[in-house]
């Protein structure tokens, strides 16, 4: 959740008016605060736990320039806009008392912008207040550090030229890209794409390049490494953090990532905005079998989700983003099915530690917007994220149908997806709040926290996959992208074989028996809602055979 936007505390909590401020990214003065606090989250734990969630993931708590916290200027202080060290300790303690866990977002690639109001401002950055702590790739001889930053250091990555080249190659039949190619699941040159398809890729520049004027840390400097490791291990020691989400992980030297993982001693999910499954898997276990990070945010299937369930164009092929934020005539599940199938055949260290999601705070739109508020399609997408192998991640406000999105005109950028939550009243009767609670209940009752997944079949409008469940059984998950206005049943092939010796297949989401809908190796679902079928003794269910 975006800490500044989830819940206020004290007298400020009485003001429930909507807030969606933007930070200053032009002169890099930051700001954009709406008033959310750490204490506010602690006071809303009943609301979060009521949906059945086990962990709370918050954006960075460090003293930073803007409300998002990804531009720190003091790593060792809590942002006073969010609260105090005691507040963070209380949140951690309160979660642990509930047998829940705390995941905190950390940024180790960069600090805040070093160029504020058109002037170099480095002296107040703690602890990295010297130019030697930052990468200076392509700095000219005799050039001042201020002029170097002002003129613009080389970017960490820019695949636009290669993406245009990729388009020409594919049109001529000299290159292949898309969901069927597990080393380039998107038709664009992302970090990790190299060779003929993307010849300009430079892995070293990816590490040494900057994000605009954000101070890119030089991890080869002993002091930088020492202080960052101190910061990470200190968070675990002082606040008993249970896990981290590591921002911009792919722009950090992998050798240092291994050190961070060892120093943390807890699971780390690295942000890996990539479309190459081989490259992605090497971020968990490297080419030389060295351990890198324990987990990753799972972007390759996410890139397919908006089109799969709702026909929405979240990105842009070959670097052309002119259609971004629009809809295709029909949604199509094939791309998602292909990526999932390829991913289960790839050599991941631990697929249970891939974090799956349907939207987040960085992309072009929340799910309520890109699915046009179609509750049925949203339910199917949430069923997918809750039952596919890995860690399900649900963005705050999804349960209240928050619909933040970027636009083509007067685009507020990513800030548009980071709206306040308090205006919803934290309604526990909201349909998606109750549905998420139901999904979590089923996931736990079937003991599907870990375990393998197997994609059985997919086509343009549906997908079937199984998941390991309690007792060594397989649960069958059936999702589709039918619109809410459509009626009637839907045929899925294959389906489970009918139960024997007093056993029957039931829909875990309703308790109803599905036995008489299984025939000829297929499942004739009586309606178009998502289904999770599990096998149980008929006498074990009060709803046995009741349809």
271 is catalytic: yes
- Confirm or deny that 242 is annotated as ligand binding: no
- Confirm or deny that 418 is annotated as ligand binding: yes
Q: Which of 186, 247, 349, 363 is catalytic?
A: 247
- The DSSP call for residue 538 is G
Q: Which helix (H) or strand (E) segment is 506 a member of?
A: strand 503-507
Integer Cα distance of 264 and 243 in angstroms:
8
Contact 353, 268 (CB under 8 A): no
34 to 68, 283, 422: CA distances (angstroms): 11, 35, 11
Strand partners, 233: none
- The DSSP call for residue 103 is E
Integer Cα distance of 338 and 178 in angstroms:
9
313: number of CA atoms within 13 Å, CB side?
Answer: 14
* CB contact burial 286-323 (16+ within 10 A = b; e otherwise): beeeeebbbbbbbbbbbbbbbbbbbbbbbbbbbbeeee
Integer Cα distance of 20 and 33 in angstroms:
9
Do the bridges between strand 243-247 and strand 101-107 make them parallel or antiparallel, or are there none, so unpaired? parallel
Integer Cα distance of 224 and 205 in angstroms:
18
CB neighbour class for 520 (10 Å; exposed up to 12, middle 13-18, buried from 19) = exposed
User: Reduced to 3 states, what is the DSSP secondary structure of residue 160?
Assistant: helix
Return all residues near 310 (Cβ < 8 A) that are at least 6 apart. Answer: 327, 331, 367, 370, 371, 372, 374, 377, 381, 481
- In degrees, to the nearest 5, what angle opens at C-alpha 217 toward C-alphas 216 and 222? 165
The structure tokens listed for 276 are 């190459």
Strand stretches in 198-284, DSSP E = 214-216, 243-247, 267-270
Strand partners, 291: 285
Residue whose C-alpha is closest to residue 229's, from 244, 214, 215? 244
24 is catalytic: no
Contact 28, 66 (CB under 8 A): no
1 to 59, 75, 104, 323: CA distances (angstroms): 6, 20, 10, 28
Integer Cα distance of 211 and 191 in angstroms:
14
Q: Which of 87, 105, 186, 271 is catalytic?
A: 271
With residues binned 3-state (H G I as helix, E B as strand, rest as coil), the percentages for the chain, rounded to 5, are 30, 20, 50
| Residue numbers belonging to the annotated binding site | 110, 245, 362, 418
Catalytic residues: 247, 271
Binding residues for substrate: 110, 245, 362, 418
């Amino acid at each position: 959740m975006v800490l500044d936007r989830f819940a206020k505390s004290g007298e400020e909590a009485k003001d429930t008016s909507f807030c969606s401020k933007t930070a200053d990214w032009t002169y890099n003065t930051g700001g954009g605060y709406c008033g959310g606090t750490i204490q506010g989250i602690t006071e809303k734990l009943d609301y979060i736990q009521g949906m059945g969630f086990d962990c709370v993931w918050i954006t960075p708590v460090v003293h930073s320039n803007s409300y998002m916290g990804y531009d720190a200027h003091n790593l060792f202080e809590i942002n006073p806009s969010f609260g105090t060290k005691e507040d963070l300790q209380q949140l951690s303690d309160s979660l642990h008392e509930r047998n829940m866990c705390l995941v905190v977002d950390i940024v180790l690639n960069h600090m805040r912008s070093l160029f504020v109001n058109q002037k170099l401002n480095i002296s107040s950055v703690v602890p990295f207040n010297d130019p030697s702590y930052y990468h200076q790739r392509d700095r000219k001889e005799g050039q001042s550090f201020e002029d170097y930053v002002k003129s613009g250091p080389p970017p960490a990555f820019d695949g636009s030229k290669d993406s245009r080249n990729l388009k020409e190659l594919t049109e001529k039949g000299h290159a292949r890209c898309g969901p069927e190619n597990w080393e380039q699941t998107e038709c664009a040159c992302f970090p990790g794409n190299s060779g003929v398809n993307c010849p300009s890729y430079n892995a070293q520049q990816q590490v040494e390049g900057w994000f605009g004027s954000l101070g890119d840390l030089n991890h080869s400097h002993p002091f930088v490494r020492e202080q960052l490791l101190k910061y990470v291990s200190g968070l675990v020691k002082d606040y008993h953090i249970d896990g981290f989400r590591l921002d911009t992980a792919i722009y950090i030297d992998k050798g240092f990532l291994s050190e961070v993982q060892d120093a943390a001693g807890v699971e780390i999910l690295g942000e890996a905005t990539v479309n190459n499954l081989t490259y992605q898997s090497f971020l968990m276990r490297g080419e030389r079998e060295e351990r890198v990070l324990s987990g990753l945010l799972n972007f390759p299937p996410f890139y397919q989700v908006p089109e799969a369930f709702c026909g929405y164009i979240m990105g842009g092929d070959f670097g052309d983003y002119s259609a971004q934020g629009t809809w295709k005539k029909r949604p199509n599940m094939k791309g998602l099915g292909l990526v999932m199938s390829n991913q289960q055949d790839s050599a991941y260290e631990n697929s249970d530690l891939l974090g799956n999601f349907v939207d987040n705070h960085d992309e072009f739109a929340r799910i309520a917007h890109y699915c046009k508020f179609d509750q049925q399609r949203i339910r199917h997408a949430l069923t997918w994220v809750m039952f596919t192998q890995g860690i399900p991640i649900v963005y705050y406000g999804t349960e209240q149908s928050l619909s933040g999105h970027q636009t083509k005109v007067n685009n507020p950028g990513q800030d548009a997806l980071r709206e306040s939550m308090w205006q919803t009243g934290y309604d526990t009767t909201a349909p998606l709040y109750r549905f998420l609670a139901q999904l979590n209940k089923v996931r736990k009752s079937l003991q599907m926290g870990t375990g393998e997944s197997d994609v059985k079949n997919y086509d343009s409008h549906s997908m079937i996959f199984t998941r390991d469940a309690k007792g060594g059984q397989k649960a069958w998950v059936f999702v589709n992208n039918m619109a809410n206005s459509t009626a009637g049943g839907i045929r899925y092939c294959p389906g489970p074989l009918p139960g024997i010796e007093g056993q029957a297949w039931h829909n875990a989401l309703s308790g109803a028996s599905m036995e008489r809908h299984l025939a000829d190796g297929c499942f004739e679902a009586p309606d178009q809602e998502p289904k999770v079928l599990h096998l149980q003794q008929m006498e074990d269910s009060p709803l046995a055979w009741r349809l």
